[in-house]
Every structure is written in C-alpha cells, then in structure tokens.
Structure 1
C-alpha cells in the first residue's frame, strides 16, 4: 500500500506531462497535423522548432495517448488530444498556451515555494517582473484573454449588470476592464448606456476587437492606459470589477483614489470585488485561490476591509449592494 501511494504521489508531482502538453498547445501541433503536416520534419519546419528535440516531444505525447503515429499516416491527433485543436468543441488550446494570459499565470507557479515562504507573488520571484507587466506585452495573436473567459460573466459578475441601478447612469468607464466582457454585457442589457474601457495596450486592443464584433462600436470605446496613472474624467460611474483583489492595500488605495479623482463630486466609484473565501470542501475555489496567490498578491478582503480601503482613498460609502460568496458590490463617492 505504501509503495502504491508513493507511486501515485510521484505521478501527481510529475511536471513533464503538463509542460509537454502546454508546449504542444503553444506550437499548435494538433492544428498543423489536422492541416496535413504529419511528419516530424514537416512539423519542426512549420513551427520553427529543433527537429530532433521536437521528435522527442512527439514520441512522448504519443506514449501518453495525445497523438498517434503510424508509418503510413505519420502523426495524427487522438480523441484525447482533440481539445488541442483550435476549433474543437471545448478547445483548451488557448487556455494552455504559454503565450496566452492563463498560460502565463500558471507558469508563475514555478515560484510557488517563494510564495509559501514569504506570502509574495512567486511570478515576480521566478521571472524578475510582475505578472501585469507581462500581460501588457502579450502579443495580439496570442489570445490575450482565453475564450472561455469571454463567453460569460464569471464570479457572479451578473450582479454588476442587474443589481445596480443603471437607469440613472449615462456614461460608465470599466477601469481595468480586460477583454470587455462586463462592459459588453452592460451595454447589451442597458441600451441607453455609453461606455469606455481602460486597460493596458494588449488588453485594450483585445477589448476593442470584441466590442466591434458585438456591434457596439457606436456606444463603447477603449482607452489604453494604467489605472495607477490619472484616469480620464467625465464619466458618471467608474467600475472596478475584480480589480482590487489583485493588488496589495497601498496600490488598491491608489487605484481607488485615481477613480475618485476622475469621478469628482458628481460621479461614483462602483467596486465589484471578488471574494475568494471558500469552504473546506470547495476544491475548485481552493485551486484558484492558490493559483492567484502564486501569480499576483491577492488579499482575501472582508466587506469591512473593502470599506476601509475606500475611506483611506478619501471616498465615502454611498450604497451597499448584495454580497455573494464570490462578489461584493459597493458604491463610493468623493467627499
């Protein structure tokens, strides 16, 4: 029994399989095979890889059942490996790609030991720069935000759209709005709204593309910039959706202060922050909490702590909305 447990534990800790699959996803090997490139030499030329080393990767993935090889047909994708195809139902290629946002985040887990010892984000310890710096440099063709993130509002994000009184709001700025999911849903649900999204260049470009694809270019726009710098004024509401949970107190206060300065006396700052407190038996939340902590300094703040951040930023609580296990809504205004 002890030997069996040791084997099982060692298998759980094996890093080769996950990294080999992620390399295959990054290089789009499955898509090239589906397009008719089925030899090791052809694949190496197509993806710009070292032929002999790529062949070792392919042999390993064949042994794991992700690909198969035959003398007659060369390399092919198996049913197990099919989700690596870009257009496959439930595709995981972009999610696993080391060039994409989620792939970058999980690479930071190599610094997990530093995180556990110090409480600091391991990503910076591993790569010498913080995660958000790399996010701003993610190339447009690397899927800045994973498709599954764009498909629906996550983490009770629907509360933002339906639990706040948007009837009195004409213009909203989604500060750090990522791929535009929240702003797009707001615009769809409230046709009178005009909105803007502020984010780093890579994010803003991805959001602009999605906004145009959704036919909302006449009411929504994007602005490239950082919420740590002065924010454009003139909006009725400045929305911070799942932003403060990525930053330590000093930076969170600065972000709130920037929003308050932009909002002025007439505007409002709407904080829709994530709450990552979870039950002991919530395995998915436990995974996400550890993953985020290894990537960015994620403080799990209580409602009282969020209110204190607002006060420290010179803001006054003007409305308190519903709270779920994953989301809190608070409206602030400048004193």
Structure 2
C-alpha cells in the first residue's frame, strides 16, 4: 500500500482492502492537521525527535503516524530522515490560501467520525445520523458548543476558498448594480466579487452574529462602505433591491420544501429582470461524479438536505417561479453556477 497504488489499484480484492482502510487514512491526515505538523515543517525539514518536540507528541507514536503519511505522499522524508512538505501537505498549512487544514480536522474529529459511524442507522431509519448521535440538529449543536462552532466555521472557510476564485472569475457583472448574498457567511465570496467589480454594491444576508464577523473582515479589506449587513431569516423573508440574488452552498442544507421556500422568498423580492445564481454541487446521473455523490452522503449524515441533479434544481426553480437558464461548471472545483430568471406571466 503506497502512494503509487493506494485507492488506485486495478486488482478488485486489493482495491476493496484499500476501501476498508480509507477512513483510517482520513484520520491520519486529520491528526497531522490538528498537531500542526505542516506548519512546523514550513521553514525547514525536521527529524522525528525535533518534530515530536515541536508538536509535543510521543516520539515513537508520531513516527508510526508519519510512516504511512509519507507512504501516501502527504509528507516527504529525505535521505537523512528529515520530514518535509510535499505538494499535498502544502494544503495543511494554516496560512495557505487554499488551506484544507480545518476541514481535515473537522472530518477526523468527533463531529466527523461519530455521525459517519451512524450511517448504517441513517440508511435503515431515514433519520439524520448527526441528530441521532448528538440528540440535536447540527446548527443547534454548534450554537451550544462554541469550540465546535469555531472549528466548523474555519472548515467552511476552507471549503469556500477551494472554489472561490473560480466562482469569482465566472461571475458576469453586466447589468448588476446591487448583489444580494443570501447566507453570505463571513463575506469571502461577496468580498472577492466586490474587489474585482468596483461598481457593484453588496447586501449580506445572514444571522446577526455571522454578519458581525463579516463586517469586520470586509472593513479590513476596505469594502464595508459598499455593503449593507441585514440580519435575515431566509425562511421568512430576504432583503429587497438586488439585481442578482446569490446563494452559495445554501440549498443543499435543506429538504425540497424548505429549499423552495427560500427560493420563493427570493422571487418575491426580485424585479423581473433580476438574476438568481445558485452555487452548488450538481450530481451527475451517470456513473461518474464520485466526489459529488459522496458529498450527497455527507448531507444525509449531517442535515436534512441533499446534493441535487440538474433535474432536481430545475424542479425547485419551477416550483418557486424561476426558469433555469444556464449551468456553468467552475473549472477545477465541484461547484457549478446554476442560473435562473424570474418567470414572468403575461396577462
């Protein structure tokens, strides 16, 4: 089992053996991320004793952790037995622009492995595994557990940054004066769009505590004066006044009825020439798209929502009063931009 053939073996038996070990590989990466090993190796290679001292770990146990990580290509080991970064472990650096450190920690931590371990029960009962394990919904749990909420927020930032530039580069600013970002989070996406399109103004719509963080971050980027920050419960209403209504990774959190409610509330506030942009995973209907389909299983574990096919999105749009007009795949990312226009009825 080495970096040349792990999870890429053509022998069915060996491939199945690899599948039984893949969750352990995720744990290895998550532990390395939590220890901050990549950060320790950023400036210089270190031998096992030096590394163990830096991360305050048991030397022999850390060696046994690093051995398979080197075999997998996550870290490198030089001829003089010093560990070093590889192209993969660059993404475990805390300050990398496309860092995956915190999503690795989340998936390998108790919010990851506990509900994933209840997938069998979820498949049998149809109930969300996270709710079964933690006896509360994900967002209630996060509200009640600040440390988990902080890690979850950083992990979601990691995921945002994966496709952020691709989405921004695919954003068409024509006929846009005001952009409304529904479920805006901490403002990473709208901030990038505003920086690239200096004539656009933004409205951020999210929970009040989230908007406080977004306002601070956008102030530091010199963008807050072009923004409004409007506390929003998108199941009740959304802000008016936008030429484009944008939502990234929002609808996949919710079942169809709730997704239609969110979209319908947007439709109520949109003028007839406005545009809807939903940024989300589009699941292929053939036997491709393993990552998209695994993301859908994640939704089954954590929330009531799901990843949707093109037809699923078309049905949602239709029920909420939109016509689907285009789907744009963002190069190098899982996400697509699904475009909709308000359906106008002529009497």
- TM-score of the two chains, using structure 2 as the length reference: 0.67
> 1:128-186, CA deviations, whole angstroms, 9 ceiling, x for partnerless residues?
33334456652289625344632644786755x21xx752x433321112343442343
- Higher deviation after alignment, 181-190 or 139-148: 139-148
Counterpart pick for 1:298 among 299, 306, 313: 306
> 1:20-55, CA deviations, whole angstroms, 9 ceiling, x for partnerless residues?
3312312324435668993757634xxxxxx6xx55
Is the 2:179–2:245 Cα contact (8 Å) retained in structure 1? yes
Structure 2: state its 5+ residue gaps: 1-10, 330-335
Q: Distance in 1 between matches of 2:155 and 2:69?
A: 29
Is the 2:260–2:316 Cα contact (8 Å) retained in structure 1? no
Residue matched to 1:86: 94
- Higher deviation after alignment, 234-243 or 249-258: 234-243
Q: Distance in 1 between matches of 2:24 and 2:61?
A: 10
Residue matched to 1:139: 150
Q: Does 1:150 align with 2:157?
A: no
Counterpart pick for 2:30 among 22, 25, 37: 22
Structure 1: state its 5+ residue gaps: 45-50, 311-315
Q: What's the secondary structure of 2:225's corresponding residue?
A: coil
> 1:276-328, CA deviations, whole angstroms, 9 ceiling, x for partnerless residues?
23431333333333334433321525254123430xxxxx44x6532346442
* Superposed displacement of residue 249, structure 1: 2.0
Counterpart pick for 1:246 among 253, 258, 269: 253
Q: Distance in 2 between matches of 1:179 and 1:114?
A: 34
Q: Distance in 2 between matches of 1:250 and 1:141?
A: 26
* Superposed displacement of residue 194, structure 1: 1.2
Q: Distance in 2 between matches of 1:82 and 1:299?
A: 28
Q: Distance in 2 between matches of 1:121 and 1:39?
A: 40
Distance 1:55 1:276, change over 3 A: same
Q: Does 1:328 align with 2:328?
A: no
- Higher deviation after alignment, 208-217 or 82-91: 82-91
Is the 1:156–1:324 Cα contact (8 Å) retained in structure 2? no
Q: Distance in 1 between matches of 2:140 and 2:344?
A: 30
> 1:178-231, CA deviations, whole angstroms, 9 ceiling, x for partnerless residues?
343442343245433211212246654554455345432221244454423444
Q: Distance in 2 between matches of 1:141 and 1:132?
A: 10
Residue matched to 2:135: 128
Q: Distance in 2 between matches of 1:193 and 1:226?
A: 24
Q: Does 1:62 align with 2:73?
A: no
C-alpha root-mean-square deviation of aligned residues, in Å?
4.4
1:279-318 residue pairs with structure 2 within 5 A?
279-296=286-303, 297-298=305-306, 300=308, 302=311, 303-310=313-320, 316-317=321-322
Is the 1:175–1:240 Cα contact (8 Å) retained in structure 2? yes
Number of aligned residues: 309
Is the 2:277–2:337 Cα contact (8 Å) retained in structure 1? no
Q: Does 1:172 align with 2:184?
A: no
Distance 1:255 1:57, change over 3 A: farther
Residue matched to 1:199: 206
Is the 2:107–2:113 Cα contact (8 Å) retained in structure 1? no
- TM-score of the two chains, using structure 1 as the length reference: 0.69
> 1:45-92, CA deviations, whole angstroms, 9 ceiling, x for partnerless residues?
xxxxxx6xx5564243133255799xxx9x964345843333468654
Residue matched to 2:3: none
Q: Distance in 1 between matches of 2:167 and 2:289?
A: 16
Q: What's the secondary structure of 1:305's corresponding residue?
A: helix
Q: Distance in 2 between matches of 1:186 and 1:42?
A: 40
Is the 1:20–1:57 Cα contact (8 Å) retained in structure 2? no
